[in-house]
Structure 1
Amino acid sequence: MEKYRSFVPEDDERVLRYQTALRQASARVGSIRLELTGLTLTPASVMLCASPSDPSVERLAEYLAEELADDGWFEAGFNRDIWYSNLVHFTGLPADPWALVEWVSARRNLDLGSSVHTYADLVAWKFNNRHMVSGTLGRAELSGPTADARSRSSGHSR
């Protein structure tokens, strides 16, 4: 949503607006299913890659951008081409970086199943001098119609 801030007060006006936008966008989308497709590597982390099973996650991103309006400036015009979860954050160079590159490359394409998400969280990350720690600033239930319900109501089947 924004550039990193080392301190975010609980009554921060921007965070309150982000929470409202998240609740409003989440009410328009049902649960999100992602296919877990393998691993990738960045200079800062090992990531689990995912692919959307249907347009729900893209719809959530669109609705969130609408609800954020001017507060959505940080990702305005950004088209996400990867969905992921960080598995490992690096605090320095790995002992054998080439071995890690080869290990992740061998796992680039894996069928790791799927995940179903029924909530969206607004999260801030901090480094606590040992590892990354997340703090939840807000949570909203994905309570809108599911992709299957939208297909049935429009007369389309999958």
Structure 2
Amino acid sequence: MDRVTSEALAVAGGSHWPTGAVASSHFTVRTLERYRPAVAEDDEQVLRYQTALRRSSARVGTIRLELTGLTLTPASVMLCASPSDDAIERFAEYLAEELAGDGWFEAGFIRDIWYANLVHFTGPPDIPQTLVEWVAARRSLDLGASMHTCADLISWTFNGRHMVPATLGSAKLGGSTG
């Protein structure tokens, strides 16, 4: 993902955020709330989120995603993924169940695409048509698979250049060996 992120950033222009870089690459299973610039680890909501994460993670094993190509949105270049089985969908369901009322932000929302943002745009791409053509040429692209044996609770902060994750909790997926 880091390599493809670097390539996409070179085409889009260097002022955008390299969200798919090693330090920040991720697949979002659920967004829990609106952005908060500062989130304390002992925040009451965070403690409930951590409990829900641990409980839901214990109920599902390793998640495998086939990385199938790129797509373009008005906000980002995305890496598309296809689940190898129903583990990620079950995990999302379990997480919604365990969050209960704390899952209000995406209540009733079911993801119909799994993706990792590689580049978030901070403005228009340098040469939009070149980026469109570059992504189109990579729409179907076998990039292998990603194996996920844990899930993290993340908050995002701005480091002056781009968004960086701060881990507020982590849980091993039940049945995972790695």
- Give the SS at the match of 2:134: helix
Q: Which residue of the partner structure matches residue 94 of structure 1?
A: 125
| 1:145 CA drift (Å) | 7.5
Picking from 95, 110, 119, the partner of 1:64 is: 95
Q: Which residue of the partner structure matches residue 20 of structure 2?
A: none
Picking from 34, 39, 60, the partner of 1:3 is: 34
- Give the SS at the match of 1:74: helix
| 1:127 CA drift (Å) | 2.5
- Say how many residue pairs are matched: 146
**What code does the residue aligned with 1:72 have?**
G
**What code does the residue aligned with 1:64 have?**
L
CA–CA distance in structure 2, aligned partners of residues 145 and 109 of structure 1 = 29
What is the identity percentage for the equivalent residue pairs of Structure 1 and Structure 2?
Answer: 75
CA–CA distance in structure 2, aligned partners of residues 135 and 86 of structure 1 = 17
**What code does the residue aligned with 1:50 have?**
A
Q: Which residue of the partner structure matches residue 25 of structure 1?
A: 56
Partners of 1:28 and 1:145 within 8 A in 2: no
Picking from 10, 13, 20, the partner of 2:44 is: 13
Corresponding position: 1:115 with 2:150: no
Which structure would you say has the larger Rg?
Answer: 1
**What code does the residue aligned with 2:112 have?**
D
CA–CA distance in structure 1, aligned partners of residues 127 and 66 of structure 2 = 30
CA–CA distance in structure 1, aligned partners of residues 167 and 176 of structure 2 = 25
**What code does the residue aligned with 2:48 have?**
R
**What code does the residue aligned with 1:87 have?**
L
Partners of 1:122 and 1:139 within 8 A in 2: yes
What are the ranges of 5 or more consecutive residues in structure 1 without an aligned counterpart?
A: 147-158
| 1:129 CA drift (Å) | 2.4
What are the ranges of 5 or more consecutive residues in structure 2 without an aligned counterpart?
A: 1-31
> Per the alignment, do residues 85 and 34 of structure 1 end up closer, same or farther by CA in structure 2, a change over 3 Å counting?
same
Corresponding position: 1:45 with 2:76: yes
> Per the alignment, do residues 15 and 66 of structure 1 end up closer, same or farther by CA in structure 2, a change over 3 Å counting?
same
RMSD: 1.4
Mean CA deviation greater in 91-100 or 17-26 = 91-100
| 1:82 CA drift (Å) | 0.8
1:73-117 alpha-carbon deviations (Å, 9 max, x no partner): 111111101111111122222110111011111111111111110
Q: What's the TM-score, normalizing by structure 1?
A: 0.87
